[in-house]
Amino acid sequence: MAHLPEDFGGIVPPLSTPFTPSFEVDVASLERLIEFQLAAGVHGIFVLGSTGEAAFLTDQQRATVIEVAVRTVGGQVPVLAGIFDMTTARVVEHAQTARRLGADALVLTAPFYTRISQSEISEHFWLVHVAVDLPLFAYDIPSAVSTKIARETMLRLAEDGVIRGIKDSSGDEANFRALLLALGGRADFSLFTGSELLVDAALLFGANGCVPGLGNIDPAGYMRLYQAAQAGDWQLARREQERLFRLFDIVSVGLPRMGIGSSAMGGFKTALKLRGVIATNITGRPSIQLNAEEVERVRQALITANLL
């Protein structure tokens, strides 16, 4: 177990969850993926996020992922775990499991399925905070949960010490910047952007780091981008980001044959397989799988990005 450093920041990829052909967690592949990330020097790993297909895993499979991650990381960097579910009682169960298995911090969204008010979102975070003694990151992702965590809600949760950081995947960069202006000066609070195509901008604004799905495939690229920004070399940061931006096209390789979710997960997993990190590019059911032509387009994109 690695306590979060007070100034926790940097590149924290949301790891894909590799599958076996029978849709079980491919433990050996997951271990290789984690080693691949650690070798690149990432500042933490985030398992069971949206990119990790948490929505597609049974509770047992989720537990396996955390176990493998905690064991493989071995305290070198913090392990963050997603505890996504509809409402409080279910989320608390996931939180307690993740804590027992050794996660260092937890990431949770607003409740979903049910239509919820901001005061109830706040209550949800409070109840999880009280129930489990681990740092919480609020994950704002209205595209998945249909509700935005309002700026005022975020700020109050941060002030009250209920959350220790934010992962912003809302796509609303102006609001993220407003959060940074209000909270960015706090030494013990970490704001991560999930906008993996605008990381140079987010770092210019003062973000502590990024949680890039594309970082699964090219953690070294995101590390270079981060280090350039740290060094104030914004043109270098921009060039690295632009290379990664173009590579990101692989997320739409399966459209419109399938949803954007399975296309993106399929694109990431295919790239990881082609780079020799994981064994299959299978995505969780009921996702449609990429076909040979789509796989070939991912291969070409990797070659263009100097990753193959």
Residues marked active site are found at: 139, 167
Q: Which is nearer to a copy of itself, 61 or 190 (CB)?
A: 61
The structure tokens listed for 200 are 């140079």
Q: Does 279 bind a copy of itself (CB under 8 A)?
A: no
193 labeled part of a ligand binding site: no
The structure tokens listed for 155 are 């700020």
Reduce the DSSP state of residue 259 to 3 states and report it.
Answer: coil
List 31, 67, 93, 296, residue binding a copy of itself (CB under 8 A)? 93
Q: How many residues bind a copy of itself (CB under 8 A)?
A: 66
Interface region with a copy of itself, contact rule CB under 8 A, candidates 63-71, 89-97, 159-167, 215-223: 89-97
Residue 273 beta carbon to a copy of itself: minimum distance, rounded to whole angstroms: 21
What are the percentages of helix, strand and coil residues in the chain, rounded to 5?
50, 10, 40
Residue 103 beta carbon to a copy of itself: minimum distance, rounded to whole angstroms: 20
- Site map for a copy of itself, 1-40, x if CB under 8 A? ----------------------x-----------------
Cα–Cα distance measured from residue 98 to residue 104, given in angstroms and rounded to the nearest whole number: 9
Contact 20, 57 (CB under 8 A): no
Distance of CA 93 to CAs 89, 111, 112, 128, Å? 6, 14, 16, 10
Distance of CA 45 to CAs 10, 79, 81, 105, 106, Å? 11, 5, 8, 10, 11
Contact 191, 184 (CB under 8 A): yes
Cα–Cα distance measured from residue 81 to residue 74, given in angstroms and rounded to the nearest whole number: 15
Cα–Cα distance measured from residue 240 to residue 218, given in angstroms and rounded to the nearest whole number: 11
211 labeled part of a ligand binding site: yes
- Site map for a copy of itself, 169-208, x if CB under 8 A? --xxxx--xx--x-------------x-xx-xx--xx---
Residue 9 beta carbon to a copy of itself: minimum distance, rounded to whole angstroms: 18
Nearest to 13 by CA among 31, 180, 38: 38
Q: Which is nearer to a copy of itself, 32 or 62 (CB)?
A: 62
Q: Does 146 bind a copy of itself (CB under 8 A)?
A: yes
Where does this chain bind a copy of itself (CB under 8 A)? 23, 50, 55-59, 61, 84, 86-90, 93, 111-117, 119-121, 123-124, 126-127, 143-146, 171-174, 177-178, 181, 195, 197-198, 200-201, 204-205, 232, 234-235, 238, 242, 245-246, 256-262, 284-288
